[in-house]
Amino acid sequence: MRLPRVQRSGLRLAAVGHVEWVRFARVAHVPRPGEVVHALEPFHEPAGGGAVAAVQLARLAGSATLLTALGEDGLASRSVDRLRELGVSVCCAPRAERTRMAVSLFEASGERTITTFGPRLEPSAADAELPWGELGAMHGIYFTAGDLEGLRLARAARVLVASPRARAALGHGVRLDALVLSGEDEGELRVAEQVGDEAQLVVWTDGQRGGRFRASDGSIGSYPAAARPAAAVDSYGCGDAFAAGLTYALSAGMELEQALSLAARCGAVCATGRGPYERQLSAADLAQAR
């Protein structure tokens, strides 16, 4: 399978990572032990870090590519069809395991709680179905899951941004332009402590409190949260929308302050919709702001 040749923004962007089929629902509150809570407005989407980032990149750049792995089942085909509807060119390697599933419950505050079922399926450089050899033509790649050799191949892109969730591929000397993580996720913080020196830039997100960063030259700083255009509905996908926005901005050659501002807008807008795709920052939004 070959990568798309032209994207409307002039940027060729991709995500490498995982997809899971997620059932979303609104609840009054997350159930306490032994409690039964009625879920409202349920719906399904293919989500997970790779999918969310790929759709956000597509909405900013006009199109984007996703390299992933899925089970050979009905959920895989539904995921591919839906992501293509959302503007993503999906390159998928088959796996014997079933496509991973998850449930995400969001409260009135917008906070979400996620439960996953089954192992995370990750793309590998050994997957002949995936166009690893063409990643050098990409302006920017966001890497959330995959193996070390896949990360090395992704490094051929002009800009490479990664998540600590790609922990198996990190810590082996592959230079990153940026590592983006949640400042409240203990697992991601531990990985970042071990591999942060490989990144030119490390960014810690902290929701409505903004976030902070550290550059490889030793400089540190913070950035403010972006104003939400509406009330918070669901925080699912905000972190990956932020990271995708940063990938887009760095690939477009933006200065750090401008890049972090755009990334923060992506996270803020995503929080105002149900699930990760109802509201995401788009190229039309950027055009209106000029």
Domain of residue 188: give its range.
13-127+138-280
Least confident of 2-11, 110-119, 171-180, 252-261: 2-11
Residue type, 221: G
If you average pLDDT over every residue of the chain, what do you get? 93
Q: Is residue 132 part of a domain?
A: no
pLDDT of residue 287: 84
pLDDT of residue 37: 87
Which pTM value belongs to this model? 0.93
Q: Is residue 153 part of a domain?
A: yes
Task: Tell me how far CA of residue 14 lies from CA of 30, 56, 67, 102, 275, in angstroms.
Answer: 34, 10, 8, 24, 21
> For 35-68, b where at least 16 C-beta lie within 10 A, e where not — what string?
eeeeeeeeeebbbbbbbbbbbbbbbbbbbbbbbb
Is residue 2 over pLDDT 90? no
Q: Is residue 257 part of a domain?
A: yes
The CATH number of the domain holding residue 233 is 3.40.1190.20
Query: Do residues 188 and 182 lie in contact, with contact meaning Cβ atoms separated by under 8 Å?
Result: yes
Cα-trace Rg, the chain: 18
Q: Is residue 84 part of a domain?
A: yes
pLDDT of residue 38: 87
Query: Do residues 98 and 118 lie in contact, with contact meaning Cβ atoms separated by under 8 Å?
Result: yes
pLDDT digits (tens, 9 = 90+) for 19-56: 999 999 999 888 888 888 888 899 999 999 999 999 99
Is residue 4 over pLDDT 80? no
pLDDT of residue 110: 74
Q: Is residue 114 part of a domain?
A: yes
Q: Is residue 271 part of a domain?
A: yes
Give the count of domains, the chain: 1
Q: Is residue 184 part of a domain?
A: yes
pLDDT digits (tens, 9 = 90+) for 149-173: 999 999 999 999 999 999 999 999 9
